[in-house]
């Protein structure tokens, strides 16, 4: 990959007509705080998308469940059958539960199911597929139909109809399926990822997308996914750009992690991925144990750490050195506060996860990190490789909400 500038001011800002898609937030229980990931070794580099010349981003509103699940709505078929999906940068397939799922597959009974017979645009495929996640697997068949996302309609997409979901995490989830935004090399069955097909079919101008995740549990909107660009109203410029070091997951180089003015982690530099499908920040066991000890965390049986809520005002900031810039999290950012029945529970946003070589070891910067920052994911073009732009999220949370058209400012992309 070509080296990219580590700090790039936003010189380019143009006005565009756009559509927005919202996100929702839910708290499913401790077990779903774990990473929904299966890790594998990339074998060949994926091809990068080539952006077209127009400016037509798609805005997808997100819903937020208690800061640990963010999801938005898509449609499949004609007329569209609606599904809530996690927009996941750690995988590359689109799948939803099927009306034909196994009788004993519990998640199917609690979620919307795709019915091919109710769609006039359904095209059979029938190829079997299986996806292995960190907490279980799912099996099904591939099908082809029309995808509706934001203001974009009639995109032909090959997706998975899940027939068997044995994992409890999918039963409890507030989303129906997953829409992967990782690189093509991660796609099971060689299926073209949704982002690539939108670009190839001329429905999206650039292989760029961005997330802002609203961390205010009282807010109506849960955040926003912008396909094709970013909205500067969501962040405080400039964006700091980092090259993607391994184009499979959105993997970058992290120079250091600092807890307050004392503890230093990742001292020699380390690998990290930006993953919207993981609720917490994870890292190697030894380092996460040291970090949680430094903030007074008490270990729980499920691998989470309990924090005394009364100590939050005194806890130190935790800072990540990325591209020569420090990205800071306050205790309000990294402590997950759960209030139920008059009882408040506070959990550390840091959890141990040892990912073996050759993929690991690495850190996963999940929603705890991404909620405090806006991330712009750029697959690159013929003149430059993939990169990620980061900036502190705007405290104003400005910007129009809901479906339909709206004027927005688009920036943070590399012309050419």
Q: What is the pLDDT of residues 234-292, one digit of tens each?
A: 999 999 999 999 999 999 999 999 999 889 999 999 999 999 988 899 999 999 999 99
Task: Mark whether 205 is an active-site residue.
Answer: no
Predicted confidence (pLDDT) at residue 409 exceeds the cutoff of 70:
no
What is the pLDDT at residue 396? 53
Residue 4 to residues 237, 252, 254, 292, 388: CA-CA distances in angstroms?
A: 18, 12, 15, 34, 10
Q: Which two structure tokens, joined as six digits, stand for 336?
A: 């997950």
Q: Which of 13-22, 34-43, 390-399: highest mean pLDDT?
A: 390-399
What is the pLDDT at residue 65? 59
Rounded-to-integer distance, Cα 179 and Cα 60, Å? 13
pLDDT band of residue 66 (cuts 50, 70, 90) is low
What is the pLDDT at residue 395? 77
Lowest mean pLDDT among 140-149, 172-181, 349-358, 370-379: 172-181
Q: What is the pLDDT of residues 258-269, one digit of tens each?
A: 999 889 999 999
Q: What is the pLDDT of residues 332-349, one digit of tens each?
A: 999 998 887 888 899 999
Please state, for a pLDDT cut of 90, what percent of the chain lies above it. Answer: 53
pLDDT band of residue 64 (cuts 50, 70, 90) is low
Rounded-to-integer distance, Cα 8 and Cα 5, Å? 6
pLDDT band of residue 223 (cuts 50, 70, 90) is confident
Predicted confidence (pLDDT) at residue 22 exceeds the cutoff of 80:
no
Q: Which two structure tokens, joined as six digits, stand for 166?
A: 């044995």
Mean pLDDT, the chain, rounded, equals 79
Inter-residue contact 289 to 259 (CB < 8 Å):
no
Is the sign of the CA dihedral 314, 320, 321, 327 positive or negative?
negative
142 vs 344, which has greater pLDDT? Answer: 142
Distance in Å from the first CA to the final CA of the chain: 16
Give strand ranges (E) for 223-367. 223-227, 240-243, 246-247, 250-254, 256-259, 263-265, 270-274, 281-283, 298-299, 305-306, 318-322, 325-329, 335-340, 343-348, 350-352, 363-365
Contacts 24+ apart (CB under 8 A), 50-55: 50/199, 50/207, 50/381, 50/382, 51/199, 51/205, 51/206, 51/207, 51/208, 51/381, 51/413, 52/199, 52/202, 52/205, 52/206, 53/205, 54/205, 55/14, 55/16, 55/205, 55/228, 55/229, 55/410
pLDDT band of residue 100 (cuts 50, 70, 90) is confident
pLDDT band of residue 59 (cuts 50, 70, 90) is confident
Per the residue annotation, which of 88, 176, 196, 333 is the catalytic one? Answer: 88
Inter-residue contact 329 to 294 (CB < 8 Å):
no
User: Which DSSP string do the residues of 216-231 spell out, in sequence order?
Assistant: -TT-S--EEEEETS--
160 vs 39, which has greater pLDDT? Answer: 160
What is the pLDDT at residue 236? 94
20 vs 265, which has greater pLDDT? Answer: 265
User: Which DSSP string do the residues of 346-384 spell out, in sequence order?
Assistant: EEESEEE--PPTTT-S-EEE-HHHHTTEEEEEE--BTTB
Per the residue annotation, which of 196, 221, 231, 275 is the catalytic one? Answer: 275
Task: Mark whether 88 is an active-site residue.
Answer: yes
This prediction's pTM:
0.82
Predicted confidence (pLDDT) at residue 397 exceeds the cutoff of 80:
no
């Amino acid at each position: 990959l070509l080296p990219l500038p580590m700090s790039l001011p936003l010189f380019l800002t143009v006005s565009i007509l756009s559509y927005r898609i919202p996100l929702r937030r839910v708290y499913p229980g401790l077990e779903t705080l774990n990473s929904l990931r299966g890790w594998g070794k990339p074998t060949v580099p994926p091809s990068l998308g080539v952006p077209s010349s127009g400016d037509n981003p798609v805005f997808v509103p997100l819903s937020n469940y208690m800061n640990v699940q963010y999801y938005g709505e898509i449609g499949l078929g004609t007329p569209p059958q609606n599904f809530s999906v996690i927009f996941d940068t750690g995988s590359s397939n689109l799948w939803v539960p099927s009306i034909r799922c196994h009788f004993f597959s519990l998640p199917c009974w609690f979620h919307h199911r795709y019915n091919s017979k109710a769609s006039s645009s359904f095209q059979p495929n029938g190829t079997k597929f299986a996806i292995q996640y960190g907490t279980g697997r799912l099996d099904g068949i591939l099908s082809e139909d029309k995808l509706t996302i934001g203001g974009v309609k009639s995109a032909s997409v090959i997706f998975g109809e899940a027939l068997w979901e044995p994992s409890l995490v999918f039963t409890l989830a507030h989303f129906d399926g997953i829409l992967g935004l990782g690189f093509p090399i991660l796609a099971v069955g060689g299926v073209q990822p949704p982002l690539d097909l939108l670009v190839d079919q001329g429905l999206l101008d650039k292989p760029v997308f961005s997330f802002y995740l609203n961390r205010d549990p009282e807010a109506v909107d849960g955040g926003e996914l912008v396909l094709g660009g970013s909205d500067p109203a969501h962040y405080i410029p400039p964006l700091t750009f980092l090259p993607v070091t391994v184009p499979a997951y959105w993997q970058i180089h992290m120079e250091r992690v600092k807890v307050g003015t004392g503890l230093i982690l990742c001292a020699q530099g380390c690998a990290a991925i930006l993953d919207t499908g993981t609720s917490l920040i994870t890292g190697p066991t030894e380092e996460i144990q040291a970090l949680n000890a430094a903030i007074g965390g008490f270990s729980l049986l499920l691998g989470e750490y309990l924090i005394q809520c009364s100590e939050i005002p005194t806890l130190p900031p935790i800072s990540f050195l990325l591209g020569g810039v420090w990205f800071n999290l306050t205790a309000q950012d990294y402590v997950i506060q759960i209030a139920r029945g008059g009882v408040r529970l506070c959990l550390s946003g840091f959890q141990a996860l040892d990912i073996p070589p050759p993929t690991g070891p690495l850190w996963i910067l999940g929603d705890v990190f991404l909620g405090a920052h806006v991330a712009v994911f750029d697959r690159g073009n013929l003149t430059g490789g993939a990169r990620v732009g980061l900036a502190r999220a705007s405290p104003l949370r400005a910007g129009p909400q809901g479906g339909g058209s709206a004027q927005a400012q688009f920036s943070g992309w590399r012309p050419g």
